[in-house]
């Protein structure tokens, strides 16, 4: 049996190779070489040629194929189209944080699935339906490939690309662990954000396991009936249960809960929406991220400046919690939030 490097933590790799004399420190060296250089390490103290031969026989180093890279002419966002263990492509986005000349860096928005089963009406990925889960190595390698292609370091990862991360829980958490390991990409766990539309059992598991990764929940509407029209998962994961899970998360971690709100003109940007959100989250410390809807079809549009200003004023009056408007870049290359649909392009060998 051969296992794939980049698909398990160094501890799991060591357990698999223990019979071959591989210690944890050697497993970390093997993992670091596979991730950072894409190759097996050379023989060294503790890693004899004999042991290395066994390692090479029992493991393999997988790689994603980069099919296409597109860079925005507006804001330097970059979209990468990859192919992994299947004919369907999936996308990742490199987000530039270059405003500090002394610390230029990137955040990578990774996909966790090809397609998505949730069917949120304002999301291009959701219109594709679910195709498959990505393996942990396919998630890790998105960051590896983008880092190798970038002039500045990758300092953060957000699981907010294609797919619902909490419906691919094992692979997502394994990938996050590998990305945060010193022998992986050495990205701080606090700089890794795992998004979800609100899969309640997975949120409770995430809380129970005590992860340091940040949690972001796409709420978008506080009225259950209208939320169900926008996000059909409301039917199987109702808002009251979701808020109960988020209160448990806050009680266990002490962290403020980040909620994402995709703003749709005339739909969820009224005074009533702000009031309902305040009632729903009463007593729960939250931070609200406002995101413009991105819909090339024209069915949905973001609020006009006046509507946005009125909504923010209403949030100040009713919510009384931190509110930030998140910049949604890469619109000209369909790399913005809700626009990823690369698996619509089937790629043959």
Query: What is the predicted pLDDT for the residue at 344?
Result: 52
Q: What is the rounded CA–CA span in Å between residue 209 and residue 86? A: 31
Q: Is the pLDDT of residue 42 over 60?
A: yes
Q: What is the pTM of this model?
A: 0.95
Give the pLDDT band of residue 349 (cuts 50, 70, 90): very low
Kindly report the average pLDDT of the chain as a whole number: 95
Q: What is the rounded CA–CA span in Å between residue 314 and residue 324? A: 14
Q: Give catalytic residues, as residue numbers.
A: 91, 337
Mean pLDDT of 123-134: 94
Q: Is the pLDDT of residue 66 over 90?
A: yes
Query: What is the predicted pLDDT for the residue at 45?
Result: 80
Q: Is the pLDDT of residue 19 over 80?
A: yes
Dihedral angle, C-alpha 219, 225, 228, 233, nearest 10 °? 80
Mean pLDDT of 134-154: 98
- Token digits of residue 95: 């987000």
Q: Is the pLDDT of residue 221 over 80?
A: yes
Residue 38: partners with Cβ closer than 8 Å, 6 or more residues away: 61, 63, 144
Query: What is the predicted pLDDT for the residue at 348?
Result: 40
pLDDT in tens, 246-280: 999 999 999 999 999 999 999 999 999 999 999 99
Query: What is the predicted pLDDT for the residue at 171?
Result: 99
Higher pLDDT, 99 or 87: 87
Give burial (CB, 10 Å; 0-12/13-18/19+) of 271: middle
Handedness of CA 112, 115, 121, 123 (dihedral sign): positive
- Token digits of residue 324: 């930030």
Q: Which fold has domain 65-344?
A: TIM Barrel (3.20.20)
Query: What is the predicted pLDDT for the residue at 278?
Result: 98
Mean pLDDT of 338-343: 84
Q: Which residues pair with 289 in a beta bridge?
A: 260, 324
Give burial (CB, 10 Å; 0-12/13-18/19+) of 248: middle
The Cβ-side half-sphere exposure at 208, using a 13 Å CA radius, reads 7
The Cβ-side half-sphere exposure at 151, using a 13 Å CA radius, reads 7
pLDDT in tens, 286-315: 999 999 999 877 899 999 999 999 999 999
* Domain-wise residue ranges, the chain: 3-60, 65-344
Query: What is the predicted pLDDT for the residue at 345?
Result: 52
Mean pLDDT of 136-162: 98
Give the pLDDT band of residue 343 (cuts 50, 70, 90): low
Q: Is the pLDDT of residue 123 over 70?
A: yes
Q: Which residues pair with 215 in a beta bridge?
A: 194
């Amino acid at each position: 049996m051969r296992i794939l490097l980049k698909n398990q933590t160094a501890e799991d790799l060591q357990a698999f190779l223990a019979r071959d004399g591989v210690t944890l420190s050697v497993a970390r060296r093997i993992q670091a070489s596979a991730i950072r250089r894409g190759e097996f390490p050379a023989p060294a103290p503790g890693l004899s040629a004999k042991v290395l031969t066994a390692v090479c026989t029992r493991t393999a180093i997988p790689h994603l194929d980069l099919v296409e890279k597109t860079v925005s002419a507006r804001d330097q966002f970059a979209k990468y189209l990859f192919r992994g263990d299947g004919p369907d492509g999936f996308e990742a986005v490199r987000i530039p944080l270059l405003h500090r000349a002394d610390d230029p860096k990137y955040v990578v928005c990774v996909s966790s699935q090809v397609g998505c089963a949730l069917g949120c009406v304002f999301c291009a990925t959701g219109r594709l339906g679910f195709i498959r889960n990505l393996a942990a190595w396919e998630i890790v390698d998105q960051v590896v490939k983008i880092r190798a292609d970038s002039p500045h370091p990758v300092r953060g990862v957000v699981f907010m690309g294609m797919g619902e991360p909490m419906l691919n829980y094992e692979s997502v958490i394994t990938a996050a662990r590998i990305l945060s390991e010193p022998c992986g990409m050495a990205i701080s766990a606090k700089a890794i954000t795992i998004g979800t539309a609100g899969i309640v059992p997975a949120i409770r598991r995430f809380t129970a396991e005590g992860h340091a990764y940040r949690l972001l929940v796409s709420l978008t509407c506080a009225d259950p009936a209208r939320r169900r029209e926008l996000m059909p998962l409301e039917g199987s994961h109702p808002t009251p249960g979701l808020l109960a899970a988020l209160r448990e998360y806050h009680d266990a971690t002490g962290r403020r809960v980040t909620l994402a709100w995709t703003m749709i003109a005339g739909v969820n940007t009224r005074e009533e929406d702000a009031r309902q959100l305040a009632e729903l989250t009463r007593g729960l410390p939250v931070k609200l991220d406002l995101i413009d809807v991105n819909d090339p079809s024209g069915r949905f549009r973001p609020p006009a400046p006046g509507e946005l200003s009125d909504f923010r004023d209403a949030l100040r009056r009713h919510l009384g919690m931190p509110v930030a408007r998140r910049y949604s870049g890469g619109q000209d290359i369909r790399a913005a939030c809700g626009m990823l649909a690369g698996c619509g392009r089937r790629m043959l060998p």
